[in-house]
């Protein structure tokens, strides 16, 4: 089983729960409709990786930077930066046929994470930033979310059991795109403008 690091300790998530279409600007940039209710999909533990691949099985892969939380003892206890990797062309084909997204979202290596750090307060001052080769490509904070973390947790607990160590990815702001080979990705989580955690990957 793959692990993540929370406050310096190795933790094994049983699953990753992802929230789709949670930022209006991102919905619009992909030409999607605003959903009537929260969109949820899952990634297995096997999706967790430390390698940022620009292709998977000869298909190009797109990046989506996200604020991510670790669930422990009934609450979101720690925050980190995550990359939800997506086969956009395949996803569009599956959606057009009314089929599930798993082949485009849940493949091996489709979830990358920074370290996670404890957080006491989750509010609109919590934000993310993704730079690619020194240029900011994505930036957003909780105020832009349609479903904020407290509501996400409340809705999830209505139908699924969250285990300690599970990760919740809360959606991506606008600015997603194809992963350039050899590009340097730097993801950050900030609170009140202060960096809480940062992570660098080099795409291969």
pLDDT, tens digit, for every residue of 170-191? 999 999 999 999 999 999 999 9
Determine the pLDDT at residue 34. Answer: 73
Q: Which domain holds residue 20?
A: 4-126+140-178
Taking the C-alpha atoms of residue 70 and residue 87, their distance in angstroms, rounded to an integer, is 25
Whether residue 66 lies inside any domain: the answer is yes
Per-residue pLDDT, averaged over 14-30, amounts to 85
Across the chain, what does the average pLDDT equal? Answer: 95
Whether residue 119 lies inside any domain: the answer is yes
Determine the pLDDT at residue 14. Answer: 98
Whether residue 197 lies inside any domain: the answer is no
CB 4 within 8 Å of CB 82: no
pLDDT, tens digit, for every residue of 87-136? 999 999 998 999 998 999 999 999 999 999 999 999 999 999 999 999 99
pLDDT at 26 over 80: no
Taking the C-alpha atoms of residue 97 and residue 102, their distance in angstroms, rounded to an integer, is 14
Determine the pLDDT at residue 27. Answer: 62
Whether residue 186 lies inside any domain: the answer is no
CATH number of the domain within which 92 lies: 3.90.850.10
Whether residue 188 lies inside any domain: the answer is no
Whether residue 116 lies inside any domain: the answer is yes
Whether residue 201 lies inside any domain: the answer is no
Per-residue pLDDT, averaged over 70-79, amounts to 97
Whether residue 187 lies inside any domain: the answer is no
Report the domain count for the chain: 1
Question: At 87, which helix (H) or strand (E)?
Answer: none
């Amino acid at each position: 089983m793959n692990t993540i690091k929370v406050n310096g300790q190795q933790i094994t998530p049983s699953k990753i729960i992802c929230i789709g279409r949670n930022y209006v600007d991102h919905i619009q940039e992909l030409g999607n409709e605003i959903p009537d209710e929260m969109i949820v999909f899952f990634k297995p533990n096997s999706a967790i990786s430390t390698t940022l691949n620009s292709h998977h099985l000869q298909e190009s892969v797109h990046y989506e930077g996200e604020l991510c939380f670790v669930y422990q003892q009934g609450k979101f206890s720690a925050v980190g930066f995550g990359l939800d990797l997506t086969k956009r062309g395949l996803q569009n084909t599956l959606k057009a046929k009314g089929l599930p997204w798993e082949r485009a979202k849940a493949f091996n290596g489709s979830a990358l994470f920074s370290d996670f750090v404890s957080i006491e307060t989750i509010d609109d001052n919590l934000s993310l930033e993704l730079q690619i080769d020194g240029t900011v490509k994505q930036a957003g904070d909780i105020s832009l979310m349609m479903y904020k973390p407290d509501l996400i947790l409340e809705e999830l607990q209505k139908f699924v059991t969250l285990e300690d160590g599970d990760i919740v990815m809360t959606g991506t702001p606008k600015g997603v795109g194809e992963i350039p080979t050899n590009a340097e990705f730097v993801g950050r989580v900030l609170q009140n403008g202060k960096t809480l955690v940062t992570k660098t990957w080099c795409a291969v």
